[in-house]
Chains A and B, each alone.
Chain A
Amino acid sequence: MSNITTIVSTMTAASFVEVVEAFTIILAVGVSRSWKPAFIGTGLALIVLAALVVILGPLLGLIPVELLQFVIGTLLILFGMRWLRKAILRASGIIALHDEAEAFARETDQLKRQHAERRADWIAGTAAFKAVLLEGIEVVFIVIAVGAGRGMLGYAALGAALACLLVLIVGFVVHKPLSRVPENTLKFVVGLLLTAFGVFWVGEGLGADWPGDDLSLIVILGVLAIFSFVAVRMLRGYYSSNAKAVA
Protein backbone atom coordinates (compact mmCIF):
# COMPACT_ATOMS: atom_id res chain seq x y z
CA MET A 1 0.00 0.00 0.00
CA SER A 2 2.82 2.41 0.95
CA ASN A 3 4.52 1.48 -2.33
CA ILE A 4 1.38 2.41 -4.28
CA THR A 5 1.11 5.71 -2.37
CA THR A 6 4.79 6.49 -3.05
CA ILE A 7 4.40 5.79 -6.77
CA VAL A 8 1.15 7.75 -7.15
CA SER A 9 2.47 10.75 -5.18
CA THR A 10 5.85 10.73 -6.98
CA MET A 11 4.06 10.71 -10.32
CA THR A 12 1.63 13.44 -9.28
CA ALA A 13 4.47 15.73 -8.13
CA ALA A 14 6.71 15.02 -11.15
CA SER A 15 3.88 15.39 -13.68
CA PHE A 16 2.53 18.49 -11.96
CA VAL A 17 5.75 20.38 -12.71
CA GLU A 18 5.73 19.36 -16.39
CA VAL A 19 1.98 20.01 -16.84
CA VAL A 20 2.34 23.49 -15.30
CA GLU A 21 5.08 24.29 -17.87
CA ALA A 22 2.94 23.04 -20.79
CA PHE A 23 -0.15 24.82 -19.43
CA THR A 24 1.78 28.13 -19.32
CA ILE A 25 2.51 27.89 -23.07
CA ILE A 26 -1.06 26.78 -23.95
CA LEU A 27 -2.41 29.74 -21.96
CA ALA A 28 0.03 32.12 -23.69
CA VAL A 29 -1.11 30.83 -27.11
CA GLY A 30 -4.80 31.08 -26.19
CA VAL A 31 -4.56 34.56 -24.69
CA SER A 32 -2.24 36.16 -27.27
CA ARG A 33 -3.67 34.52 -30.42
CA SER A 34 -6.84 32.44 -30.02
CA TRP A 35 -7.96 29.26 -28.30
CA LYS A 36 -8.45 27.32 -31.57
CA PRO A 37 -4.73 26.80 -32.40
CA ALA A 38 -4.02 26.25 -28.69
CA PHE A 39 -6.52 23.37 -28.50
CA ILE A 40 -5.59 21.90 -31.92
CA GLY A 41 -1.88 21.91 -31.03
CA THR A 42 -2.59 20.39 -27.61
CA GLY A 43 -4.92 17.73 -29.06
CA LEU A 44 -2.43 16.66 -31.74
CA ALA A 45 0.39 16.41 -29.19
CA LEU A 46 -1.81 14.28 -26.89
CA ILE A 47 -2.54 11.92 -29.83
CA VAL A 48 1.22 11.54 -30.51
CA LEU A 49 1.84 10.88 -26.79
CA ALA A 50 -0.96 8.29 -26.63
CA ALA A 51 0.56 6.55 -29.68
CA LEU A 52 3.94 6.48 -27.91
CA VAL A 53 2.40 4.81 -24.84
CA VAL A 54 0.47 2.29 -26.99
CA ILE A 55 3.66 1.36 -28.91
CA LEU A 56 6.09 1.34 -25.96
CA GLY A 57 3.79 -0.23 -23.34
CA PRO A 58 3.54 -3.79 -24.74
CA LEU A 59 7.29 -3.85 -25.58
CA LEU A 60 8.12 -3.54 -21.87
CA GLY A 61 6.49 -6.89 -21.13
CA LEU A 62 9.01 -8.64 -23.39
CA ILE A 63 12.04 -7.53 -21.36
CA PRO A 64 13.21 -9.56 -18.30
CA VAL A 65 12.39 -7.64 -15.09
CA GLU A 66 16.03 -7.44 -13.79
CA LEU A 67 17.22 -5.99 -17.11
CA LEU A 68 14.27 -3.59 -17.16
CA GLN A 69 15.07 -2.42 -13.60
CA PHE A 70 18.75 -1.96 -14.46
CA VAL A 71 18.13 0.00 -17.68
CA ILE A 72 15.28 2.10 -16.28
CA GLY A 73 17.20 2.65 -13.03
CA THR A 74 20.16 3.94 -15.05
CA LEU A 75 17.89 6.35 -16.98
CA LEU A 76 16.25 7.44 -13.72
CA ILE A 77 19.65 8.18 -12.17
CA LEU A 78 20.60 10.32 -15.19
CA PHE A 79 17.20 12.05 -15.22
CA GLY A 80 16.93 12.48 -11.45
CA MET A 81 20.51 13.72 -10.95
CA ARG A 82 19.97 16.30 -13.71
CA TRP A 83 16.91 17.64 -11.83
CA LEU A 84 18.67 17.44 -8.49
CA ARG A 85 21.76 19.26 -9.79
CA LYS A 86 19.60 22.08 -11.15
CA ALA A 87 17.54 22.22 -7.93
CA ILE A 88 20.70 22.41 -5.76
CA LEU A 89 22.14 25.17 -7.96
CA ARG A 90 18.82 27.09 -7.88
CA ALA A 91 18.44 26.74 -4.10
CA SER A 92 22.04 27.97 -3.63
CA GLY A 93 21.34 31.04 -5.77
CA ILE A 94 23.86 30.04 -8.44
CA ILE A 95 21.27 29.85 -11.22
CA ALA A 96 18.00 31.79 -11.42
CA LEU A 97 14.76 30.28 -10.14
CA HIS A 98 12.29 29.15 -12.81
CA ASP A 99 9.48 31.66 -13.08
CA GLU A 100 6.23 30.69 -14.86
CA ALA A 101 5.02 34.31 -14.98
CA GLU A 102 8.21 35.28 -16.82
CA ALA A 103 7.91 32.28 -19.20
CA PHE A 104 4.30 33.27 -19.90
CA ALA A 105 5.29 36.90 -20.63
CA ARG A 106 8.15 35.81 -22.91
CA GLU A 107 5.95 33.41 -24.91
CA THR A 108 3.07 35.93 -25.17
CA ASP A 109 5.46 38.65 -26.34
CA GLN A 110 6.97 36.37 -28.99
CA LEU A 111 3.54 35.34 -30.28
CA LYS A 112 2.32 38.95 -30.37
CA ARG A 113 5.30 39.95 -32.50
CA GLN A 114 4.32 37.21 -34.96
CA HIS A 115 0.70 38.35 -34.91
CA ALA A 116 0.97 40.19 -38.23
CA GLU A 117 2.30 37.17 -40.04
CA ARG A 118 -0.09 35.20 -42.25
CA ARG A 119 1.00 31.96 -40.67
CA ALA A 120 0.33 33.26 -37.12
CA ASP A 121 -2.27 30.54 -36.32
CA TRP A 122 0.10 27.85 -37.55
CA ILE A 123 2.95 29.24 -35.43
CA ALA A 124 0.70 29.51 -32.35
CA GLY A 125 -0.61 25.94 -32.84
CA THR A 126 2.95 24.65 -33.28
CA ALA A 127 4.02 26.37 -30.05
CA ALA A 128 1.22 24.58 -28.12
CA PHE A 129 2.01 21.29 -29.89
CA LYS A 130 5.72 21.51 -29.07
CA ALA A 131 5.12 22.44 -25.43
CA VAL A 132 2.64 19.62 -24.79
CA LEU A 133 4.71 17.07 -26.73
CA LEU A 134 8.03 17.91 -25.07
CA GLU A 135 6.71 18.19 -21.52
CA GLY A 136 4.43 15.18 -22.18
CA ILE A 137 7.35 13.01 -23.28
CA GLU A 138 8.97 13.66 -19.91
CA VAL A 139 5.73 12.65 -18.15
CA VAL A 140 5.45 9.47 -20.31
CA PHE A 141 9.06 8.61 -19.51
CA ILE A 142 8.57 9.07 -15.76
CA VAL A 143 5.30 7.05 -15.86
CA ILE A 144 7.04 4.18 -17.65
CA ALA A 145 10.22 4.41 -15.53
CA VAL A 146 8.51 4.63 -12.15
CA GLY A 147 5.65 2.25 -13.00
CA ALA A 148 7.31 -0.45 -15.08
CA GLY A 149 10.09 -1.25 -12.57
CA ARG A 150 7.49 -2.69 -10.20
CA GLY A 151 4.66 -3.54 -12.58
CA MET A 152 2.65 -0.54 -11.38
CA LEU A 153 2.18 1.25 -14.67
CA GLY A 154 -1.52 1.81 -13.91
CA TYR A 155 -0.84 3.55 -10.58
CA ALA A 156 1.92 5.69 -12.12
CA ALA A 157 -0.46 6.73 -14.92
CA LEU A 158 -3.11 7.53 -12.29
CA GLY A 159 -0.66 9.88 -10.55
CA ALA A 160 0.07 11.65 -13.85
CA ALA A 161 -3.65 11.94 -14.65
CA LEU A 162 -4.31 13.43 -11.19
CA ALA A 163 -1.64 16.07 -11.84
CA CYS A 164 -3.19 17.00 -15.23
CA LEU A 165 -6.62 17.28 -13.66
CA LEU A 166 -5.32 19.40 -10.79
CA VAL A 167 -3.48 21.84 -13.09
CA LEU A 168 -6.51 22.13 -15.41
CA ILE A 169 -8.91 22.83 -12.52
CA VAL A 170 -6.63 25.37 -10.82
CA GLY A 171 -5.59 26.90 -14.17
CA PHE A 172 -9.12 27.45 -15.41
CA VAL A 173 -10.23 28.83 -12.04
CA VAL A 174 -7.41 31.40 -11.74
CA HIS A 175 -7.04 31.80 -15.53
CA LYS A 176 -3.41 32.83 -15.09
CA PRO A 177 -0.04 31.06 -15.33
CA LEU A 178 0.44 29.05 -12.17
CA SER A 179 3.32 31.16 -10.92
CA ARG A 180 2.58 30.48 -7.27
CA VAL A 181 3.33 26.80 -7.63
CA PRO A 182 6.52 26.18 -5.67
CA GLU A 183 8.03 24.66 -8.80
CA ASN A 184 11.62 24.72 -7.62
CA THR A 185 10.74 22.99 -4.35
CA LEU A 186 8.72 20.38 -6.26
CA LYS A 187 11.63 19.81 -8.65
CA PHE A 188 13.94 19.37 -5.67
CA VAL A 189 11.67 16.72 -4.14
CA VAL A 190 11.11 14.96 -7.47
CA GLY A 191 14.85 15.01 -8.27
CA LEU A 192 15.47 13.33 -4.90
CA LEU A 193 12.70 10.76 -5.47
CA LEU A 194 13.78 9.87 -9.02
CA THR A 195 17.45 9.53 -8.05
CA ALA A 196 16.47 7.37 -5.06
CA PHE A 197 14.27 5.15 -7.27
CA GLY A 198 17.15 4.94 -9.79
CA VAL A 199 19.73 3.82 -7.19
CA PHE A 200 17.24 1.34 -5.71
CA TRP A 201 16.35 -0.23 -9.06
CA VAL A 202 19.88 -0.40 -10.43
CA GLY A 203 20.73 -2.15 -7.14
CA GLU A 204 17.80 -4.55 -7.60
CA GLY A 205 18.84 -5.13 -11.22
CA LEU A 206 22.30 -6.09 -9.93
CA GLY A 207 20.73 -8.54 -7.48
CA ALA A 208 21.02 -6.39 -4.34
CA ASP A 209 19.13 -7.76 -1.36
CA TRP A 210 18.20 -4.40 0.18
CA PRO A 211 17.60 -4.68 3.95
CA GLY A 212 13.92 -4.06 4.72
CA ASP A 213 13.18 -4.43 0.99
CA ASP A 214 11.18 -1.36 -0.17
CA LEU A 215 11.81 0.44 3.15
CA SER A 216 15.44 0.98 2.14
CA LEU A 217 14.10 3.33 -0.54
CA ILE A 218 13.23 5.74 2.30
CA VAL A 219 16.76 5.44 3.72
CA ILE A 220 18.29 6.16 0.27
CA LEU A 221 15.94 9.13 -0.07
CA GLY A 222 16.93 10.40 3.39
CA VAL A 223 20.67 10.11 2.67
CA LEU A 224 20.24 11.98 -0.63
CA ALA A 225 18.12 14.67 1.07
CA ILE A 226 20.75 15.25 3.80
CA PHE A 227 23.49 15.37 1.17
CA SER A 228 21.52 17.91 -0.91
CA PHE A 229 20.76 20.07 2.12
CA VAL A 230 24.46 20.15 3.09
CA ALA A 231 25.44 20.81 -0.56
CA VAL A 232 23.05 23.80 -0.78
CA ARG A 233 24.42 25.26 2.48
CA MET A 234 28.06 24.82 1.42
CA LEU A 235 27.53 26.12 -2.13
CA ARG A 236 25.59 29.14 -0.86
CA GLY A 237 28.49 30.02 1.45
CA TYR A 238 31.11 29.37 -1.23
CA TYR A 239 29.25 31.37 -3.88
CA SER A 240 28.48 34.40 -1.68
CA SER A 241 32.06 34.65 -0.36
CA ASN A 242 33.59 34.22 -3.84
CA ALA A 243 31.11 36.54 -5.54
CA LYS A 244 31.98 39.21 -2.92
CA ALA A 245 35.70 38.63 -3.48
CA VAL A 246 35.24 39.11 -7.26
CA ALA A 247 33.11 42.26 -6.75
Chain B
Amino acid sequence: MNIIRITLRELIGMFIDDGALALWSIALIGVIAAAVEYAGLSGFAGGILLLAGCMLILAESTYRAARKKSQG
Protein backbone atom coordinates (compact mmCIF):
# COMPACT_ATOMS: atom_id res chain seq x y z
CA MET B 1 0.00 0.00 0.00
CA ASN B 2 2.92 2.25 0.82
CA ILE B 3 4.27 2.06 -2.74
CA ILE B 4 0.82 2.95 -4.15
CA ARG B 5 0.61 5.95 -1.83
CA ILE B 6 4.12 7.09 -2.80
CA THR B 7 3.38 6.59 -6.52
CA LEU B 8 0.13 8.59 -6.26
CA ARG B 9 1.87 11.36 -4.34
CA GLU B 10 4.65 11.42 -6.92
CA LEU B 11 2.12 11.44 -9.77
CA ILE B 12 0.41 14.51 -8.32
CA GLY B 13 3.84 16.03 -7.61
CA MET B 14 4.69 15.66 -11.31
CA PHE B 15 2.25 18.45 -12.08
CA ILE B 16 2.01 20.36 -8.82
CA ASP B 17 5.04 21.80 -7.08
CA ASP B 18 3.87 25.28 -6.25
CA GLY B 19 0.10 24.94 -5.68
CA ALA B 20 -0.60 28.55 -6.67
CA LEU B 21 1.27 28.10 -9.98
CA ALA B 22 -0.83 25.05 -10.84
CA LEU B 23 -4.11 26.67 -9.78
CA TRP B 24 -3.45 29.88 -11.72
CA SER B 25 -2.41 27.89 -14.80
CA ILE B 26 -5.61 25.80 -14.73
CA ALA B 27 -7.71 28.94 -14.15
CA LEU B 28 -5.97 30.69 -17.08
CA ILE B 29 -6.59 27.76 -19.44
CA GLY B 30 -10.22 27.50 -18.25
CA VAL B 31 -10.94 31.23 -18.76
CA ILE B 32 -9.30 31.26 -22.22
CA ALA B 33 -11.15 28.08 -23.28
CA ALA B 34 -14.46 29.64 -22.11
CA ALA B 35 -13.67 32.90 -23.96
CA VAL B 36 -12.95 30.98 -27.18
CA GLU B 37 -16.04 28.80 -26.82
CA TYR B 38 -18.61 31.38 -25.68
CA ALA B 39 -17.26 34.91 -26.23
CA GLY B 40 -16.06 34.57 -29.81
CA LEU B 41 -12.33 34.97 -29.02
CA SER B 42 -10.29 33.48 -31.88
CA GLY B 43 -8.23 30.36 -31.16
CA PHE B 44 -5.04 32.18 -32.20
CA ALA B 45 -5.73 35.11 -29.83
CA GLY B 46 -6.44 32.51 -27.13
CA GLY B 47 -3.06 30.91 -27.80
CA ILE B 48 -1.23 34.26 -27.56
CA LEU B 49 -3.06 35.11 -24.32
CA LEU B 50 -2.16 31.68 -22.98
CA LEU B 51 1.54 32.22 -23.70
CA ALA B 52 1.48 35.68 -22.08
CA GLY B 53 -0.47 34.36 -19.08
CA CYS B 54 1.95 31.47 -18.55
CA MET B 55 4.91 33.88 -18.45
CA LEU B 56 3.07 36.16 -16.02
CA ILE B 57 2.25 33.23 -13.71
CA LEU B 58 5.86 31.98 -13.87
CA ALA B 59 7.19 35.48 -13.10
CA GLU B 60 4.90 35.78 -10.06
CA SER B 61 5.76 32.30 -8.78
CA THR B 62 9.54 32.68 -9.12
CA TYR B 63 9.48 36.22 -7.64
CA ARG B 64 7.44 34.93 -4.68
CA ALA B 65 9.96 32.10 -4.13
CA ALA B 66 12.89 34.56 -4.31
CA ARG B 67 11.26 36.96 -1.85
CA LYS B 68 10.44 34.10 0.55
CA LYS B 69 14.01 32.80 0.39
CA SER B 70 15.63 36.22 0.86
CA GLN B 71 13.45 36.86 3.91
CA GLY B 72 14.73 33.57 5.34
- A residues neighboring B (CB under 8 Å): 70, 74-75, 77-79, 81-82, 84-86, 88-89, 92, 94-95, 126, 129-130, 133-134, 137-138, 141, 195, 199-200, 202-204, 206-211, 220, 223-224, 227-228, 231, 235, 238-239, 242-243, 246
- From B26, B47, B58, B69, A208 is in contact (CB under 8 Å) with B47
Count A-B contacts at CB 8 Å.
128
**How long is the Cα–Cα vector from A92 to B63 in the complex, in angstroms?**
11
Label chain A's interface by main secondary structure.
Answer: helix
Cα distance A74–B47 when bound, in Å?
12
Q: Which of B3, B36, B47, B54 contacts A81 (CB 8 A)?
A: B54
Q: Are B50 and A85 in touch, CB under 8 angstroms? A: no
Residues of B within 8 A of A (CB): 3, 6-7, 10-11, 14-18, 21-22, 25-26, 29, 32-33, 36, 42-44, 46-47, 50-51, 54-55, 57-59, 61-63, 65-67, 69-72
Please tell me if the beta carbons of A137 and B10 are within 8 angstroms of each other in the complex. Answer: yes
* Contacting residues, chain A, for B67 (C-beta < 8 A): 242
Those 5 A-B pairs whose CB atoms lie nearest each other, nearest first: A203-B47, A208-B43, A207-B43, A242-B70, A78-B15
A81 to B16 alpha-carbon distance, docked (Å): 10
A133-B7, A223-B51 in contact; A79/B14 too (CB < 8 A)?
yes
